[in-house]
Structure 1
Amino acid sequence: MDVLRKFLCPEFVFGPGAVSLAGRYAEHMGASRVLLVSDPGINKAGWTAVVQASLEERNISYEIFDSVLPNPRDTQVMEGASFYTERNCDVILAVGGGSVLDAAKGIGIVAANGGHILDYEGVDAIPDPIPPLICIPTTCGSSADVSQFAIISDSRGRRKIAIISKSLVPDISLIDPDTLETMSRELMAAVCLDTLTHSIEAYVSQAHSFITDRHALGAISLIGEHFIPALMHRDDRDLQSYMMQASLEAGLAFSNASLGLVHAMAHVLGGLKDFPHGICNGFLLQNVCSYNYDACPERYDKITETLRGGENKSSLSGREALLDAIGILVEASGIKQELGRFRLSSPECRTLAEMSLKDVCIVTNPREPGLKEIASLYEETFRQ
């Protein structure tokens, strides 16, 4: 407790109806013309229209940029930044999943600082603050609505870059559990595995603190108790709210403690093969936790205990108990049925391992991995 710690988080409003406050907060920021960032799926689900109505109630003009794809590309960010400038916008409002929120952050970076979005890879490489940013998450996985991270795909290099800066913490996030009603079961499963990975990696991170530990364990507890029921009962508002709360707490944890090897590997896998991020995490999580276990067994044992709600109903212990507890959730998600679609050759595994070593998330992993070890982890998970 004698170590200085910094903790970043945005102002946020949590609860049903929060999405309808978009206009009020845009007005508070003095917005005259808002760039509303979304995607076709969010438009179809009706959430873009809800935000539009809220802005119109306050007589705030807006321009819609909805060309964002999953795993947002640098080209989309550059297009959005040009659109922001050409339309004389002064506030960015993003409604969507992690791809939309990350794209909006990237748009803000380039709009304020110029250059190319790939110029800002790494930690604290953004010289000037981005425009005012309002985030409205419609999934419960990325936690981009409360984090200082943005993940952008390099379309030429076929990789993902991580941009980390306090400039990327939103000015306010409107976190409305009702937005989860329009998610498919498959998407819910994938993004919740992302939340689980965020919270586990934050808890074992070399940069963890007593503050991030509380949020990480809070998220792990919520997932352990409510993830499977939330998948089974998609119309239960309380269960959906618990999953949104888990995403919030996991985001507060990893935004300040950073992540680890699972995310380093998932980033390059998603960039090179365009695989869905949450599914990549779900596939990799058990093998990486097994690899890391001996670096901090007491922390991983606490994760196991928390996932089980403090009860040990299994004869397993240590590493095996951890893998069993995580495996129950991964199995319930249904993603293992998709594993056949995500196969890699041995040369691909080595290439991915080389790229993973350059990912900023690897720095805080509890164990320092080498090239051969990472390649082996890819092969154990995805080898043809």
Structure 2
Amino acid sequence: MPGRLIFGIDSRLRLGTEARNFGTRALLITETVFRSSRLLEEIRSVLTVAGVEAISCAEIGPDSTSRAGEECMKLAKSARVQMIIGLGGLRVLSTAKAVAALGANIADIDSLNDERSSEASVYPYIEIPTTCRNPFMLRDDFFLVDARNRHSTVFRRSEAFPKLVVIDSRLAEGLSDRSRSAILLDTMLHSLEGYFSRSSNFVSNTIFLRSLGLLVGSIDAAAGRDSPGPDTGMHQAGLLSAFGLTMGSLGIGSATAITAGGLFQVPKSGIAALMLPIILEYGRRACPDKLVRLAPIVDEDTRRMGTAEAADTVIASLRRRIDRFQLPLRLSDYGLESGDLPVLAAAAAAMGLADQMPQPLDQEEILDLLNEVL
């Protein structure tokens, strides 16, 4: 596992002393929603106390593209920073990782396909996720939304591994119940696709099963929880999912959610939540034996059932849990129309994230899946 990882409640308070190992000037890239927040002030204060001057760039929003990364890079160069810190959700963290790993011309997506185009100077990258999930956390890749056409592209750079990841479940306390539920199901989608993928192995499957078990526990606990409080189990599941994805692979559900966020400015976690049942049904066809192994996790006794019946039982149990959250179940609930689906299917296929699915899907098959949730 690359770099160093600190996990636990209030672990953000250790950020300053850890960051000091990389220098005294940092560019802190975060979301517009945190621009005047207590959280941003606290993070800056923790760094300052340790002797690290932090320059904030709180310009990443739900509609941000590769242009935002270009502006962050210009600021990093003019301020002569020595490290990049990403604070926020998936889009912020990918942008910050890109700034740390690539050098100039982040807005020129075409040139980034040639790894030789990146500059020799690379910034150490520190990641502070404010939710439980980032499937790229422990990998050497990230995604950017092309400013020209809003298509999302995944890039891989050996320099992109984070030097430090700080996971503090208290950072998610401000999430609404709706956002928290969608993010939980988004994390479940990551683990399920990684578990299904052809590139998974015994080790990663064991990790994904543990992640899925923790997520099911979080869903069950949410039904009787009086106060939101920090959900350490949910963050453990997110970390295990990210670890498993260093061996397994995301699939078409995650690709659809990421590309829909870029193309139509809809919440990535919301789209992932409605794609989760679709991926479960796909698993029934492509790898039912793997679904059966989930039976103990969802408290179902399938020992006397055949594979097909046992897989159906597992899916039904998981769908009952998903339905508890009463999240939107159709793409049309997010404003998408039938004419948008061919564009979305083509963009999702082009990401390449679905290449390791047990039964590959072409663009027409992806379109058929999307029509099921229109």
Give the TM-score, by structure 1 length.
0.87
After TM superposition, list the pairs within 5 Å mapping 1:13-52 onto structure 2: 13-29=6-22, 31-52=23-44
- What amino acid maps onto 1:138 in structure 2? T
> How far did residue 372 of structure 1 move?
2.3
Q: Count how many residue pairs are aligned between Structure 1 and Structure 2.
A: 371
Deviations 1:180-231 (A, max 9, x none): 2111112111111111011001111111122211221111000111224247
2:2 matches 1:12: no
SS in 1 for 2:98: helix
1:1-384 equivalences in 2 (<5 Å): 8-29=1-22, 31-70=23-62, 72-111=64-103, 114=105, 116=107, 118-119=109-110, 128=120, 130-230=122-222, 233=225, 235=227, 237=229, 240-303=231-294, 305-309=295-299, 311=301, 317-336=309-328, 340-382=332-374
Q: CA RMSD of the aligned region, Å?
A: 2.7
Q: CA, structure 1 residues 129+327, in 2 after alignment: closer, same or farther (shift >3 Å)?
A: farther
Amino acid in the other structure paired with 1:308: V
Q: Aligned letter for 1:216?
A: F
Which amino acid letter does the alignment assign opposite residue 227 of structure 1?
I
**Is this contact kept in 2: 1:142–1:247, CA < 8 A?**
yes
Give the conservation status (yes or no) of the 8 Å contact 1:193–1:281: yes
Structure 1 pair 71–306 and aligned structure 2 pair: CA distance change class (3 A): farther
CA contact (8 A) 1:353 1:375 kept: yes
8 A contact 1:330–1:336 mirrored in 2: no
Distance 1:74 1:255 in 2: 25
Displacement of 1:93 in angstroms is 1.3
8 Å CA contact retained: 2:143, 2:154? yes
**Could you tell me how far apart the structure 2 residues matched to 1:76 and 1:159 are?**
15
Q: What is the DSSP-based 3-state SS (H/G/I as helix, E as strand, rest coil) of the residue aligned with 1:24? A: helix
Give percent identity, aligned residues only: 20
Pick closer, same or farther for the CA change 1:250–1:314 going to 2, 3 Å.
Answer: farther
Q: Is the 8 A contact 1:124 1:166 kept in 2?
A: no
| Alpha-carbon separation, structure 2, partners of 1:267 and 1:256 | 20
Structure 1 SS opposite 2:102: helix
Equivalent position amino acid for 2:140 in 1: Q
Kept after mapping to 2: 8 A contact 1:45/1:182: no
What's the secondary structure of 1:258's corresponding residue?
coil
Offset of residue 15 of structure 1:
0.7
Distance change in 2, residues 1:180/1:56 (3 Å): same
Change in CA separation of 1:42 and 1:333 when aligned onto 2, cut-off 3 Å: farther
Work out whether residues 38 and 100 of structure 1, in 8 Å CA contact, stay in contact via their aligned partners in 2: yes
In structure 2, runs of 5+ residues without a counterpart are: none
Classify 1:345/1:363 alpha carbon distance in 2 versus 1 (closer, same or farther; 3 Å). same
SS in 2 for 1:38: strand
Q: Quick one: structure 1 residues 273 and 306, their matched pair in 2 at CA, closer, same or farther if it must change by over 3 Å?
A: farther
Contact 1:78 1:110 in 2 (8 A): no
1:149, 1:164 within 8 Å by CA — same for their partners in 2? yes
How far off is 1:254 after superposition?
1.7
Which amino acid in structure 2 is aligned with residue 278 of structure 1? S
TM-score normalised over the length of structure 2:
0.89
CA distance in 2, matches of 1:361, 1:245: 24
Which structure has greater helix proportion?
1
CA spacing shift, 1:233–1:359, aligned 2, 3 Å: same
Shift of 1:170: 1.0
